[in-house]
């Protein structure tokens, strides 16, 4: 009997494996700033960040101030960078908790300086140079001015300089070379003026796996740590899927020829069919786009989604599955028997990118973490050395005080 309607299993051993693959690709001396925005792309940022600390990552990249503070308050002492930007009202709490902030304009720099001065705190910033992403970021022509403004501001400290590559094909795309060229030129100009730049970083997963060069000091992988590469890039075989999404059958119904199923009766039975209802819907991460198109696994066999996916429930055709029963596990994502449904397959059917599939795993879905025992810290005191590791000790491993000290060691 399974206690959950719908649950996500996250395999921490596979996650460690991916972090090792990333670290090996990055090479000696290049740290990993693991990107855990959007609740670690749906996997649960706090749990994964604590595990990643034990794997030796150098720091974390997040999307919002709330995400940064959630990690910090959970006990993460490593550097945490807000990759994008902040709004003014968030700044005091960020300064208090030593959160690093992405910076893209002199106006924002001035505002941070004022906040820092008032609070008697130093705001640690990473300047984001827009070399072609066209979103946030200071243009290369204005970057030097911004870097100089930071170096002369009493309450700002330049912790790093970054750019973001726009192509999902990374270094395989000629536009990336142009971005790299602009970035390197700007760095060289800044250095020639005697500016110290802190940690320099450029590579997301796609750029790392396609061999962008130079990598500088840190890589910023997100999706690859979760076992996925965007698009058909080399190196996917080095990564392991870490996420499974499962539910269980709550109801079976035999329907006759012509019966409609679900909103709008978009699916109608031709002949006798057995329909199973599963208590998982688009709010839980089963895309509405999978209506009448997706498949799930039951007893190791594929069962098509029939009718529209609704908010809380989905209906599947299990006519061909012998002995199918209420409480049978339904695998929406992951492995069952000899078959597996991966994120990439679902993204293809739903006509979206893999990122959106994992991010959509909803709040109602119970996250269950498996594996990771190898890296758990066991109490060192004599006599209790054999005590079972607990969640509490998991979060106590020492944080490096600077990014230099950290390197992935799985």
Ligand X SMILES: *Cc1c(COP(=O)(O)O)cnc(C)c1O
Q: Which two tokens stand for residue 120?
A: 């008697």
Give the H/E segment covering residue 296.
Answer: strand 295-298
Determine whether 263 is an active site residue: yes
CA-to-CA distance for 126 and 159, rounded, in angstroms? 5
Nearer to ligand X, 48 or 297 (CB): 48
Q: For the CB of residue 44, give the shortest distance to ligand X in the complex, in Å.
A: 16
Nearer to ligand X, 157 or 169 (CB): 169
Nearer to ligand X, 108 or 246 (CB): 108
Nearest to 342 by CA among 318, 358, 322, 327: 358
Report the sign of the C-alpha dihedral through residues 279, 281, 285, 287, in that order: positive
Largest Cα–Cα separation, the chain:
79
Q: Residue 161 interacts with ligand X (CB under 6 A)? A: no
Return the bridge partners of 158, or none.
125
Binding mask 256-295 for ligand X (x = CB under 6 A): ----------------------------------------
Q: Residue 205 interacts with ligand X (CB under 6 A)? A: yes
Q: Which of 44, 222, 279, 294 binds ligand X (CB under 6 A)?
A: 222
Q: Which two tokens stand for residue 123?
A: 């705001």
Applying the rule CB under 6 A, the residues between 56 and 85 that interact with ligand X are: 61, 83
Report the sign of the C-alpha dihedral through residues 265, 270, 272, 274, in that order: negative
Applying the rule CB under 6 A, the residues between 185 and 204 that interact with ligand X are: 204
Applying the rule CB under 6 A, the residues between 123 and 142 that interact with ligand X are: none
Determine whether 226 is an active site residue: no
Looking at 226, 263, 289, 313, which residue is catalytic?
263
CA-to-CA distance for 197 and 216, rounded, in angstroms? 11
CA-to-CA distance for 41 and 236, rounded, in angstroms? 18
CA-to-CA distance for 166 and 391, rounded, in angstroms? 38
Q: Residue 223 interacts with ligand X (CB under 6 A)? A: yes
Closest-by-Cβ residue to ligand X is 222
Number of residues that bind ligand X (CB under 6 A): 14
Nearer to ligand X, 202 or 255 (CB): 202
Q: Which of 10, 35, 101, 403 binds ligand X (CB under 6 A)?
A: 35
Query: Considering only 67-75, 151-159, 221-229, 239-247, which stretch makes contact with ligand X by CB under 6 A?
Result: 221-229
Report the sign of the C-alpha dihedral through residues 260, 266, 270, 272, in that order: negative
Nearest to 137 by CA among 152, 151, 123, 125: 125
What does residue 224 show for φ and ψ, rounded to 5 degrees? -70, -30
Q: Residue 159 interacts with ligand X (CB under 6 A)? A: no
What residue ranges bind ligand X (CB under 6 A)? 35, 37, 61, 83, 164, 204-206, 220-224, 230
Give the active site residues: 37, 263
């Amino acid at each position: 009997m399974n206690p959950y309607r719908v649950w996500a299993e996250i395999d921490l051993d596979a996650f460690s494996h991916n972090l090792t693959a990333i670290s090996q690709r990055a090479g000696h001396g290049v740290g990993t700033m693991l990107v855990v925005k959007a609740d670690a792309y749906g996997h649960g940022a706090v749990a994964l960040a604590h595990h990643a600390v034990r794997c030796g990552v150098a720091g974390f990249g997040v999307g919002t101030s709330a995400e940064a503070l959630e990690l910090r308050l959970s006990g993460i002492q490593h550097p945490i960078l807000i990759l994008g930007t902040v709004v003014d009202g968030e700044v005091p709490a960020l300064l208090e908790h030593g959160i690093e902030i992405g910076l893209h304009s002199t106006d924002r720099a001035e505002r941070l300086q004022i906040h820092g001065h008032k609070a008697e705190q130093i705001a640690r910033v990473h300047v984001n140079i827009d070399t072609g992403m066209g979103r946030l970021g200071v243009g290369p022509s204005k970057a030097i001015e911004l870097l100089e403004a930071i170096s002369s501001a009493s309450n700002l400290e330049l912790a790093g300089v970054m750019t973001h590559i726009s192509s999902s094909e990374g270094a395989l795309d000629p536009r990336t070379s142009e971005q790299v060229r602009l970035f390197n030129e700007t760095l060289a100009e800044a250095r020639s003026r005697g500016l110290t730049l802190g940690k320099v970083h450029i590579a997301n997963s796609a750029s790392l796996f396609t061999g962008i060069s130079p990598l500088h000091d840190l890589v910023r992988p997100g999706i690859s740590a979760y076992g996925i590469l965007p698009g058909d890039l080399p190196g996917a075989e080095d990564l392991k899927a870490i996420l499974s999404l499962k539910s269980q059958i709550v109801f079976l119904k035999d329907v006759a020829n012509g019966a409609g199923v679900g909103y709008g009766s978009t699916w109608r039975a031709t002949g006798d069919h057995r329909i199973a209802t599963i208590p998982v819907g688009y709010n839980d991460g089963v895309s509405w786009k999978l209506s009448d198109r997706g498949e799930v696994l039951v007893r190791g066999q594929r069962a098509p989604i029939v009718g529209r996916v609704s908010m809380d429930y989905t209906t599947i055709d299990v006519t061909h599955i012998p002995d199918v029963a209420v409480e049978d596990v339904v695998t929406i994502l992951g492995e069952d028997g000899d078959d597996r449904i991966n994120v990439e397959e679902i993204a293809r059917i739903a006509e979206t990118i893999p990122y959106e599939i994992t991010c959509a795993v909803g709040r109602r879905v119970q996250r269950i973490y498996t594996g990771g025992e190898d890296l758990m810290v066991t109490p060192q005191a004599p006599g209790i050395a054999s005590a079972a590791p607990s969640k509490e000790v998991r979060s106590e491993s020492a944080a490096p005080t600077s990014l230099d000290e950290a390197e992935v060691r799985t």
